[in-house]
Structure 1
Amino acid sequence: MITATGLELRAGTRILLADTALRVHAGDRIGLVGRNGAGKTTTLRVLAGESLPYAGSVTASTPIGYLPQDPREGDLEVTAKNRVLSARGLDVLVADLEKVQIRMAELTDAAELDAATRQYGRIEDRFASLGGYAAESEAARICSNLGLPDRVLAQQMSTLSGGQRRRVELARILFGARAEDGAGSGTMLLLDEPTNHLDADSIVWLRDYLRLFSGGVVIISHDVDLLAAVVNKVWFLDAVRGELDPYNMSWSRYLEARATDEQRRRRERANAEKKASALMAQAAKLGAKATKAAAAHQMVRRAEKLISGLDDVRMADKVAKIRFPQPAACGRTPLTAEGLSKSYGSLEVFSGVDLAIDRGSRVVVLGLNGAGKTTLLRLLGGTERPDTGEVVPGHGLKLGYFAQEHDTIDPDATVWENTRHAAPDAGAQELRNLLGSFMFTGEQLDQAAGTLSGGEKTRLALAGLVSSAANVLLLDEPTNNLDPASREQVLEALRSYAGAVVLVTHDPGAVVALQPERVILLPDGTEDHWSPDYLDLVELA
């Protein structure tokens, strides 16, 4: 169980939660919801013990598996398989068994061989006590269901994309969660956007896994289908009141109850304001008479108390006003790539990829997970160098690059400093207006970018793009972590942008909004005219 008492969370001086008590029991499958910036990610970090609350305490009586939005760095020199097995300490034992096996094969002295055999037996007994080869098979099944084939599991973590590393972390958490009793009842799972980077089949599998999981679960997700299938309780984090409203019910019943609560608050507010206005009007009349001054003062106090005693009506969720930039003038073909290849160690990601991005063209890059889509955009954006081939900028090229792992954001710099770096020539008021349209105001401008939620980082990165005059946009999963309203704003921006776009996405809606002319299929680099037949590949990619 996880227990929080007297919990107060802040972002700068802004109160996210005040004097709140929370409990997560085995069997709870809680959806933590609220608008972007309400404090969902901060709440999950504190419950996981990754951050300290401003006030109050959090205790956990059972192990916690925490999946943050951004992949953890950890030890990047281990294989993905060993990273997953490390959740139960099996990685060390597997390595020790392999070492002793090699040693046994080399020994010729009978006594030394006997000692090594006994050592192997002791390690194997320990390995068996932790589940042994059956546990290895279980880990392999989890990985396979999350789109991590043996080819990927054999690679070092340093060679994997951010999306692959995040899927490895999810596999590790799920594998470790079942170590206690095989059912997971001894573990609490805290999952922040767990469906990011998963294909459609993996999402379906994860829904079933979580629905049957016997431990406690708290999920932050914009995947409404996941919430509807999994959660049996909902925590609504109200950004206006700085309070958390618990609903001990399914997702569909929560939606109805939430709408009813919102209507009730609006009615109460309207009635209170009507009564307060009448009291203030009466007080004004009485205040004109010296003999009635005390009564008038009392009426004013009653009116003020009536208003202040009410819950604030929740403001309609704000939406970032996203409009991609008017592109700067450029030549007919502002970006060309010739013979690109990239390998990580002995693993070849792709080779011999050619492409030409014409002015105003719209291209979607497709391929299965691990085919190199993000790598290709990094090469085009200049954040990585190809092993062979070259990227050739054309006349007037001005690139705008949105990285799915927010690599273009300096986590140690403030919101203001990041935007200033993206638009060094913009005036101070122009930047304030820009950031305000992306829902960054007041003290948030001085907040370190590394403390932002995934959705807020997405909005900050998009603000940097909007501040440019880019004529070629490289967009890697631009709709990740966004609430439905903000996602629709991004899609509308894609529809209306006049420059060239190279898009990588698992979101079919983003592809439809882009209306691509061409598709590039990785790892072969095959180019084809866009056809709706390719849409089925988007969610699988």
Structure 2
Amino acid sequence: MSLLDITELSLSYGDKCLYKNAEFSLFKGEHVGIVGANGVGKSTFINICTGNTIPDEGQIRWQPGISRGYLDQHAAADAQQTVLEYMQASFSALFEKEKEMVQAYQRYSAGEEDALKKAEKYQQQLEAADFYSIEYRIMRIAEGLGLTAIGMDKQLGNLSGGQRAKVILSKLLLEEPDVLLLDEPTNFLDKEHIRWLSEYLTEFSGAFLVVSHDFAFLEQISTCICDIDEQSIRKYSGKYSDFLKQKKHLREDYIRRYTAQQKQIKKTEEYIRKNIAGVNSRNAKGRRKQLERLERMAPPAKTYVKPVFRFHSGREVHEEILLQVNGLAAGYYYPVISGISFTVNRGQKVVITGFNGIGKSTLLKTLVGQLQALDGNFSISEAVQTGYYEQEFSWDTPEQTPLAAIRSWFPQLTEKEARRHLAGCGIDSKKAGQSLSTLSGGEQAKVKLCRLTLQPANLLILDEPTNHLDDLAKEALKEALEKYEGTVILVSHEEKFYQDFADKIISLEQVRPRE
């Protein structure tokens, strides 16, 4: 029996149709990776499963009694709560039972004979629920996702967005629901914690749906792949690599059958045209009826075109050392990182690593002037033109379209030129006319990258630019950075993305650069 059945699912936003009569079922123990190009509706699919998005048509039926856990990175939480207190809330009912047990024992000690039976009953219930392993279970997950390094006594209100998301994920894993619904869970994790989460999910006894652009992660955790493409949902058995082979084979087979049918249709139409008024008129009319009854195959779905990113290195820099950082401390009201020293030479491609929450984004914000240094200093060559890619999506006017945004940033461009640049970066004419806030994360990332390609910059500072990009866009960005003649400072948790072009790795965990 399936845990979830979705039938005749249809959903459109304006003239953009995401699903049309789509079907999907989730069965007990299935580990499903959800894939598809940017903008096809992967996150929307998760929101439909949670009930946060209501489709235009269709039915979503969960098996009664099934518990579901959704990774909501914006979930409400008491800012004064500590990380440990928030995680312990997963077991609030058991802690309450423990309190009742203690009170029952106290009443028994005071001479209330009947209280002993109640206390023993509570004791048995706690033991059956494995109550006395709670501390171990909390610390196992906290260590696996790097929360112990952040500090279990740290208040939620003092956490960064990425740290807070890790805490919410930790609590979700502690609750052990029957079904996990995770949308890009690796975006805020570094490679060590991704590895731990991969192992955890591989051993997870329940079912899950996971949206991810980290295909190595999907390869390890998935037993089947749900592909969202051309308004439909199709499930493939096996790992991500198996899905790629199956999809390629099915597409090639479909193209062969479609081509053969088109050839036969053309041949039949030619026969009808030549013989409809001749001695073979009867045969021609019969073939015309057959042709009218023929169920014609739809043209093969278009393949997604790989975007092209080209960064312009701007004016030449003559100094050998482009950036010098000396004992830098950075943060908001107190230092998140301190004692950081390193240099970046002209033309180097430098990657900054470290566990999530160590302060990588804070460092970049300080280097671009969004934050003031709290101690130490840094110097950047006066000849530097900086192009900055910020991890967060924040638009001054989110209702603006990509086309209008590009033209407001670069007023010298004609509409045709702006459209051409957007199309080259993977934003077609339809998406160019939508408001920025309605675009998927990957589409918004492409708009930001398009902006970077249009501004001369001899120093690119990029904070997790691959987080929301599909495979083709990641490949295009990697190629662009390999060809780029300027200097790059990149924060990324995807070693596979940068390992071929990185000249230098700076680990903030070690403070000193690792060459």
Q: TM-score range by the shorter chain?
A: 0.7 to 0.9
Give the conservation status (yes or no) of the 8 Å contact 1:337–1:353: yes
Residue 350 of structure 1: how far off its partner (Å): 1.9
- Counterpart in 2 of 1:160? 159
Residue 226 of structure 1: how far off its partner (Å): 3.6
- Residue 201 of structure 2 aligns to which amino acid in structure 1? L
Distance of 1:93 and 1:150 partners within structure 2: 29
Tell me if 1:213 matches 2:201: no
Residue 466 of structure 1: how far off its partner (Å): 1.2
- Counterpart in 2 of 1:395? 382
Q: Deviations over 1:18-77 (max 9, x none)?
A: 122323232122222223322222211211222222322324332321236xx4263372
Distance of 1:294 and 1:335 partners within structure 2: 84
Distance of 2:328 and 2:96 partners within structure 1: 40
- Counterpart in 2 of 1:81? 84
- Counterpart in 2 of 1:147? 146
**3-state SS of 1:383 partner:** coil
- Counterpart in 1 of 2:37? 35
Distance of 2:342 and 2:94 partners within structure 1: 42
Correspondence 1:82-101 to 2 at 5 A: 82-89=85-92
**3-state SS of 1:16 partner:** strand
- Counterpart in 2 of 1:370? 357
- Counterpart in 2 of 1:45? 47
Give the conservation status (yes or no) of the 8 Å contact 2:84–2:152: yes
Distance of 2:208 and 2:466 partners within structure 1: 25
Residue 372 of structure 1: how far off its partner (Å): 1.5
- Counterpart in 2 of 1:441? 428
Match of 1:506 among 493, 497, 501: 493
- Residue 214 of structure 1 aligns to which amino acid in structure 2? S
Give the conservation status (yes or no) of the 8 Å contact 2:236–2:243: yes
RMSD, matched Cα: 3.8
- Residue 175 of structure 1 aligns to which amino acid in structure 2? L
- Counterpart in 1 of 2:403? 416
Residue 272 of structure 1: how far off its partner (Å): 0.6
- Residue 226 of structure 2 aligns to which amino acid in structure 1? W
Distance 1:369 1:236, change over 3 A: closer
Give the conservation status (yes or no) of the 8 Å contact 2:327–2:377: yes
**3-state SS of 2:417 partner:** helix
Distance 1:525 1:260, change over 3 A: closer
- Residue 251 of structure 2 aligns to which amino acid in structure 1? E
Q: Deviations over 1:448-480 (max 9, x none)?
A: 333433332332221221122122111122222
Where structure 1 has 5 or more consecutive residues not aligned to the other structure, the ranges are 98-113, 179-183, 531-541
Give the conservation status (yes or no) of the 8 Å contact 2:23–2:232: no
Residue 364 of structure 1: how far off its partner (Å): 2.3
Q: Deviations over 1:317-358 (max 9, x none)?
A: 321112223424556366555553124666x42224355555
Tell me if 1:65 matches 2:69: yes
- Counterpart in 2 of 1:100? none
Residue 495 of structure 1: how far off its partner (Å): 0.9
Q: Deviations over 1:103-143 (max 9, x none)?
A: xxxxxxxxxxx9xxx9xx99xx7996986553243122112
Distance of 2:511 and 2:400 partners within structure 1: 37
Correspondence 1:20-419 to 2 at 5 A: 20-60=22-62, 61=64, 62-67=66-71, 71-72=73-74, 74-75=76-77, 77=79, 78-89=81-92, 132=131, 134-149=133-148, 151-176=150-175, 178=176, 184=177, 187-239=178-230, 242-249=231-238, 251=240, 253-286=242-275, 289=277, 303=291, 306=294, 309-329=296-316, 332=319, 339-343=327-331, 348-354=335-341, 357-389=344-376, 394-407=381-394, 411-419=398-406
Residue 303 of structure 1: how far off its partner (Å): 4.9
Distance of 1:286 and 1:243 partners within structure 2: 41
Give the number of aligned pairs. Answer: 490
Match of 1:430 among 417, 429, 447: 417
Query: With structure 1 as the length reference, what TM-score do the two structures score?
Result: 0.78
Distance of 1:92 and 1:380 partners within structure 2: 46
Where structure 2 has 5 or more consecutive residues not aligned to the other structure, the ranges are 100-109
Distance of 2:274 and 2:300 partners within structure 1: 30
Give the conservation status (yes or no) of the 8 Å contact 2:190–2:354: no
Distance of 2:14 and 2:151 partners within structure 1: 41
- Counterpart in 1 of 2:106? none
Distance 1:527 1:246, change over 3 A: closer
Residue 253 of structure 1: how far off its partner (Å): 4.8
Residue 8 of structure 1: how far off its partner (Å): 0.9
Residue 499 of structure 1: how far off its partner (Å): 1.5
Distance of 2:93 and 2:406 partners within structure 1: 45
Distance of 2:463 and 2:233 partners within structure 1: 33
Deviates more, 1:444-453 or 1:84-93: 84-93
Distance of 1:519 and 1:200 partners within structure 2: 14
Residue 273 of structure 1: how far off its partner (Å): 0.7
- Residue 520 of structure 1 aligns to which amino acid in structure 2? I
**3-state SS of 1:265 partner:** helix
Q: Deviations over 1:488-521 (max 9, x none)?
A: 21111111111221111222234334332x4434
Distance 1:447 1:296, change over 3 A: farther
Tell me if 1:496 matches 2:483: yes
